[in-house]
Amino acid sequence: PAEVIAACDITFACLADPEIAEKVALGPDGVVAGVTAGKAFVDCSTVDEACSQKIGAAVKAAGGRFLEAPVSGSKKPAEDGQLIFLTAGDKAVFEECEAAFAAMGKKSLYLGETGAGARMKLVVNMVMGSMMNAFAEGMSLADAGGLKAEDLLDVLDAGAMSNPMFRLKGPNMAQGKYPAAFPLKHQQKDMRLAVALGDSLDVSMPVAAAANETFKRAKAAGKGDDDFSAVHAVLKK
């Protein structure tokens, strides 16, 4: 990482979890080791606020500039340039990166001080994970009740609950197929971090906490590398 930082004015990274993000940023020959005055580091990893602030502080202490920019969107939106960037930190870096964000995504938001982007991403992924659990439970209940999955999907898509996630994931889930776009192990990590954020802010989150437990069950059942919709596999009767 230090060599990349040294060669570039602005460096982007997108890593799996806080532990890896810190290792790449702060470890030997990591990002901070290569930072010199004016260099910018844009971290698109989904991490907790404390991790993002720790990395940002180290980058700035070395004379660099820092912008957190976790993304909303998985494999297909990334391939299609349809990501949503949830940024916070150095606003000048945000403005310098707007063309890059436009090339990779459909929307970029500047949310304020470092940590706000991390918090927003955890809230978004908490809602998504909770929705997927409810959807998987609904599909399982419909199946147990003798209803056809395609009929349930048709009803959901015709009403107020219509959304791209149900349309994209539902047909594969009905066939017991879970091709990975966003691995379940990463969704569970995000649920864990979101529940921890709720604890730190004294916000009751019983739905998210229950969803996290179901993702943990699925991960323990060997579904961690499958798509996060594979939570359905442990809910089927």
Under DSSP, is residue 10 helix (H, G, I), strand (E, B) or coil?
A: strand
SS3 43: strand
- Which residue type, as a one-letter code, is found at position 152? L
Helix (H, G, I), strand (E, B) or coil at 6: helix
Active site residues: 121
Tell me the one-letter amino acid at 32.
Answer: V
Burial class, 85, CB count within 10 angstroms (exposed 0-12 / middle 13-18 / buried 19+): buried
Residue 50: half-sphere exposure toward Cβ, Cα within 13 Å: 7
The candidate with the shortest Cα–Cα distance to 65, out of 82, 98, 88, 99, is 88
Q: Which long-range contacts (CB under 8 A, 24 or more apart) does 147-155 make?
A: 149/173, 149/174, 150/174
